[in-house]
Amino acid sequence: MCDFNTLDDTQKYHFHQILSSAAQTFGGKNFFLHLLEAIRATKPHPLIASNREFYIELGGVKWNKVIFNDKLLLLLKARLKESEQNNFLPPKEDKQYKNILNLVRTLKPVVFRVTPANSQEGEGFAFEPFEIIDAHTTKLHPLFDALFFCSIETVKKILNYKPATSNATTDIKPQESL
């Protein structure tokens, strides 16, 4: 998902809908992007926080399980190959298969809850880090990828994406009467 230019229009629209919906429940695009910028600026990575939370003045993210640095490093390494494989899991013959499968099993029960500081801004949203497609196919959840890993520019492109209209007649102006 983080390589916006390689996505087809259907994927771009799908990710746009997911991220736009999440942004609206957090107070809008600007609040959502502000949260992402704060996450990117935090060192060490917020996912390894022992208190399992990350907060800014606009709201925060909480999760229910500690994520250790070794799991984060493996996650960062494995997600780079996801787009070329169309699967987070590598082929079974890959040396890292068992480690990545264990990573998925470890992180699968984690639930991330993103809530705005002011409940009038929205109700927030929750998600798990992975989408299990079938027994052999797993993908990073688009919100997990966008929130913690994708560049801010890519997330902006996805949020601002406008699908091309398939109806060519919308570009034609009505003929003026004489």
Name the residue ranges covered by the structural domains of the chain.
Answer: 8-161
Pinpoint the alpha helices (H) of 86-178.
97-107, 142-148, 152-159
Tokens of 119: 């409940």
| b/e 34-71 (16+ beta carbons within 10 angstroms → b) | bbbebbeeeeebbbebeebebebebbbbbbeeebeeeb
pLDDT given at position 84: 82
Q: CA triplet 21, 72, 42: central angle to 5 degrees? A: 65
User: What is the pTM for the complete model shown?
Assistant: 0.85
Task: Taking residues 81-92, report their average pLDDT.
Answer: 88
Question: Does the pLDDT at position 170 exceed 70?
Answer: no
Q: Which of 120, 142, 123 is nearest to 131 (CA)?
A: 142
Task: Taking residues 96-119, report their average pLDDT.
Answer: 93
Question: Does the pLDDT at position 44 exceed 90?
Answer: yes
